[in-house]
Structure 1
């Protein structure tokens, strides 16, 4: 098992990162590596220490915004729930993710994100009181958090809406939104 993990990490660390994407390159990338290739390509547009900002990401194509914002929402929610998503800087892409899910045809994820965005907006002031930079406060922010129920809904949606397949289908059918020649 350790060797399998080590090989997986090596493969990830040694993956090809494309500064430009052409139709031919996109066609050559396997489905299981396509989303990461798009994320890597977007990342090449930023300096090493430069932060992702809503202003800069908003300048990307609709398809790039959809992949970027939904990727970050998924990563954060799967790691620590919607609370973590909004707590971290990726929360600035909340509305973009709602639209992004709709763009790729993940209507149920979009609807859930819309409801989570509304709950967060209604509770933002109270939740921001926990943002003092300590792990203790962050942990406390989960107590009686109205977003907690949305996490379970999110995880269960994977059974009914194949988000990975929807993203791949969208990218393949809308290659022009990802070409960066």
Structure 2
């Protein structure tokens, strides 16, 4: 199975069974797909605002799981803006908190977006290795 097929399988499983109902490798890939897509498209602000943000709390752990330690650290800094418990899983609550965070931390979030999209880790290679080992 290649990475694209593994992503598709993971996203389908997430949609059908929910985050808690899928295997760890599927959680990792579904989270990375969501985080990467949203941050590349509109930044962490967009990630937290959209429904993909429902799994954002898992971003740093998922990236660490594949060995993307720099990107995990960047993601953790974004998650930390929500406080000790990270971003709420409930979208309405998360968006309400995000609005307050964004007002005060706009420049910081923009820098995190930039740092993430510079891809300090070779995520393509790391994902390929992870998929080979877990799917």
Q: TM-score, normalised by structure 2?
A: 0.77
**What's the C-alpha RMSD, in Å, of the aligned pairs?**
2.7
* Structure 2 residues without counterparts, runs of 5 or longer: 88-93
Match of 2:122 in 1: 162
Number of positions where the alignment pairs a residue of Structure 1 with one of Structure 2? 124
Q: Which of 39, 42, 49 does residue 87 from structure 1 map onto?
A: 49
Distance in 2, Cα, partners of 1:113 & 1:102: 10
Distance in 2, Cα, partners of 1:71 & 1:58: 17
1:92 positional shift = 1.4
Q: Which of 33, 55, 58 does residue 71 from structure 1 map onto?
A: 33
3-state SS, counterpart of residue 147 of structure 1: helix
Deviations 1:28-64 (A, max 9, x none): xxxxxx2221232234447xxxxx49x7122211111
**Are 2:8 and 1:37 aligned?**
no
Match of 2:22 in 1: 60
Deviations 1:93-136 (A, max 9, x none): 112221110111111111111111012x159645346xxxxxxx
3-state SS, counterpart of residue 161 of structure 1: coil
**Are 2:113 and 1:151 aligned?**
yes
Distance in 2, Cα, partners of 1:144 & 1:44: 34
Match of 1:132 in 2: none
1:169 positional shift = 0.4
Assess if the C-alpha contact under 8 Å between 2:39 and 2:47 holds in 1.
yes
Distance in 2, Cα, partners of 1:142 & 1:167: 34
- The structure that has the greater radius of gyration is 1
3-state SS, counterpart of residue 94 of structure 1: helix
Distance in 2, Cα, partners of 1:95 & 1:143: 21
* Structure 1 residues without counterparts, runs of 5 or longer: 1-25, 27-33, 47-51, 130-140, 176-181
